[in-house]
Amino acid sequence: MTKTKHDWTRADAMTEAEIHAAALADPDAQPLTPERLATMTRTPQVRVIRRALGLSQEEFAARFHIPLGTLRDWEQGRKDPDTATRAYLRVIGHNPAAVTEALRLTPRSTATRASARRARASTLR
């Protein structure tokens, strides 16, 4: 039997009511109030959306123009999407076909965008 650094005999002897009262007495572990819950922002679960669409990370990233590394960071909880991206993910989750179609309507390549930027910059000089 492995010895742990915690003695659980006191906790094991407590009733459910005593455990509940002790948890409520902990100032660092207060339950969420309805008011606090209403102010919290719900982040769309990227992995759930992607899997519901039956796409790999690579396919999802390519289809919705999201950098693969960023997608992986979101799915692994290393980073959270910003406000605009959360809205974008919500739209993808509700109507992926419309997003795909909208992105297909603007097939400008990176080279085309770069030449357009250079043309705008030269007219500003």
Burial, 74: exposed, middle or buried (Cβ in 10 Å; 0-12, 13-18, 19+)? buried
Q: What is the mean pLDDT of residues 39-68?
A: 91
* 34 domain residue, yes or no: no
Mind listing the pLDDT tens digit for each residue in 3-32?
667 888 888 999 999 988 988 899 888 888
Residue 109 has pLDDT above 70, yes or no: no
The pLDDT confidence band at residue 50, using thresholds 50, 70 and 90, is very high
Structural domains in the chain (count): 1
| Residue 12 is assigned to a structural domain of this protein | no
- Residue 90 contacts by C-beta under 8 Å, 6 or more apart in sequence? 44
pLDDT computed for residue 105 by the predictor: 79
Q: Which of 13-22, 83-92, 103-112 has the lowest mean pLDDT?
A: 103-112
How much is the pLDDT for 10?
86
pLDDT band at 93 (very low <50, low <70, confident <90, very high): very high
- Following DSSP, what letter does each residue of 22-38 receive, concatenated? HHHH-TTSPPPPHHHHH
CATH code, 69: 1.10.260.40
Residue found under tokens 């980073």: 79
Q: What is the pLDDT of residue 6?
A: 82
Q: Is the residue at 122 inside a domain?
A: no
Residue 72, domain extent: 44-106
